[in-house]
Structures are given as structure tokens and as C-alpha cells.
Structure 1
Amino acid sequence: MSERFPDIEVYLLKAEASEIYDWLCTQFSKVEEQKNTPKTVQWLVDGEEVLFTINSNKNFASLWFKVNMTPWNNDLDCGRILHAALGKEVRCSNAAWQETDEGPAWTKLIHGEEKDFDWDK
């Protein structure tokens, strides 16, 4: 069984907020918008805060569950479900890590495959 992370954050290539919202509605019983700014949409999902951020300077959107009250134990579990549902490239942490850790701590899910990679290189 995989370790349960305190929060979950995944990155999606060229994903629109509406796509992610539609997906969230299939995963949770209640999704309601709380705040909407040019770069950030914040939702309550089953009463818990979900922060979705679109960084307009990059190609990736970040989906962040600030508190992990989700059905997934970790980023990779969530990333797998998202990738299968949306067919978008997903990048996420593949293990609990600290800044002093060395080696690839990321997994890229693309075209149905999982590849470890180092985002810094």
C-alpha cells in the first residue's frame, strides 16, 4: 500500500479549467466555485478546498488539493486517474521527497506510459 500524502499536486499539460472541473464533478459529489481570478480558480469539493492554478507563463496547469481528503493516497495515484480520464500529459511527484533528495522524484504520464524524469534538467 502506498504512503498517503498530506496534500496532492499534479501538473497537466495544456489543460483548461473547464476540463478539470468536469473531471472533478465525476470524482466528487459536490463541486462549487468559491473564487475566480485570471490565474486561479478555487473550488470547494465535498466541503474541502481545492486550489486550481493556471500559470499563464507556462504550458502546465497545477491542480492542488491543499488537504488530502481525496480517494487517492498520493500524487501519482491522482495523476494516473487524471491521465486516463483526460488523455493529457500529467507530471507529478512519484514519492514523498525532501529538497535534499537526489535523483528523479517526478513521473511523466504520457500516451498511457509512465516515465521517471528530472524536471530540473
Structure 2
Amino acid sequence: MRQPDIEIYLKDADRAAIGAWLTAALNAPCAWQQKGRVWRCNCANIPVVLFEKAVGAWHSLLLESADTPWANDAQCAQAAAAYLQVNVRCAPGSWQEADGVNDADNWLQAKADGQLETITWHTA
């Protein structure tokens, strides 16, 4: 099932490199514009938001559309990790606050070699 949006967390990734990856993956340019503490672009008619250092050294990347090449966060995380050669984390599913806190610290981590592992990540 396709997720309505994609959110991943990239460790120590450079904004220019993230833009280059998005440009290659979406086959459209990504020109960042700063709005407060976040950077935004519209790439292939997909609104993209980058919040640098959202959690420590981890940058939050949100693609606000279901019309991406990836059906879910995990596929996107693996693609980003392979291209950028950084660790990338994402939620294992479409968790929402209403789901409770029991599984809130369960995450997936994609490594540059394509391996996907389940981790515990305390973000609070």
C-alpha cells in the first residue's frame, strides 16, 4: 500500500547532495528556498520540506505527496542511503500519535550498503 507522504531522517547529509539526489530520482530540478528554520522546494510537483538537524545530527526530509517513486518510507530510505552514502532512518509504518507511545521508538535504519535493520531510536 502506498503511503500518502514520505518522511525520512538523514544523518549528516548535505543539503546540496540531497537536492542532487531528489533531482536524479524525480527527474526534475530541486531549487531550495529557506523559510525560517526549514528549506523548501517543489520538485516534480512534489512539495519537499527539509528541516536540518531536526533530531541531533539527523535531518528530516518530508515529501508531501503519494506521487513519488517510492511506495513507502522504507523504500525511500534505502534509495537515499545508497545514493548519499549515509545512514537514513524512517518509521516502520504510518505511525500516528493516536497509535500510542509503545511503538514510537521503533524505527528502521537503512545503511549505504542497502541493509535495512530495525532499531530503537529515542528521539525525545
What TM-score bracket applies, with the shorter chain setting the length?
Answer: 0.7 to 0.9
Q: Contact 2:31–2:41 (CA<8 Å) still a contact in 1? A: yes
Number of matched pairs: 119
CA distance in 2, matches of 1:14, 1:56: 11
Superposition deviation, residue 34 in structure 1? 5.6
In structure 1, the residue matched to 2:12 is 14
Q: Are the counterparts in 1 of residues 82 and 111 from structure 2 also a CA contact under 8 Å?
A: no
Distance across 1 between alignment mates of 2:32 and 2:111: 31
- Contact 1:97–1:105, Cα closer than 8 Å, also in 2: no
1:116 corresponding residue in structure 2: 118
Give me the whole-angstrom Cα distance separating, in 2, the residues matched to 1:90 and 1:76: 9
- Equivalent in the alignment of 1:106: 107
Greater shift in the superposed pair: 56-65 or 33-42: 33-42
- SS of alignment partner, residue 8 of structure 2: strand
Change (3 A) 1:83 1:34: closer
Structure 1 counterpart of 2:119, one-letter code: F
Q: State the 4+ residue runs in structure 1 displaced beyond 6 angstroms.
A: none
Counterparts of 1:57 and 1:5, CA distance in 2: 23
Q: Distance in 2 between matches of 1:111 and 1:33?
A: 25
Over aligned residues, Cα RMSD in angstroms? Answer: 2.2
Name the TM-score, length of structure 1 as normaliser.
Answer: 0.84
Percent identity, aligned pairs only, is: 25
Aligned to 2:37: 39
Alpha-carbon distance change, 56 to 83 in structure 1, aligned in 2, over 3 angstroms: closer
| Secondary structure at the counterpart of residue 31 of structure 2 | strand
Structure 2 partner of 1:73 = 71
Deviations 1:15-41 (A, max 9, x none): 010010111111122224262246322
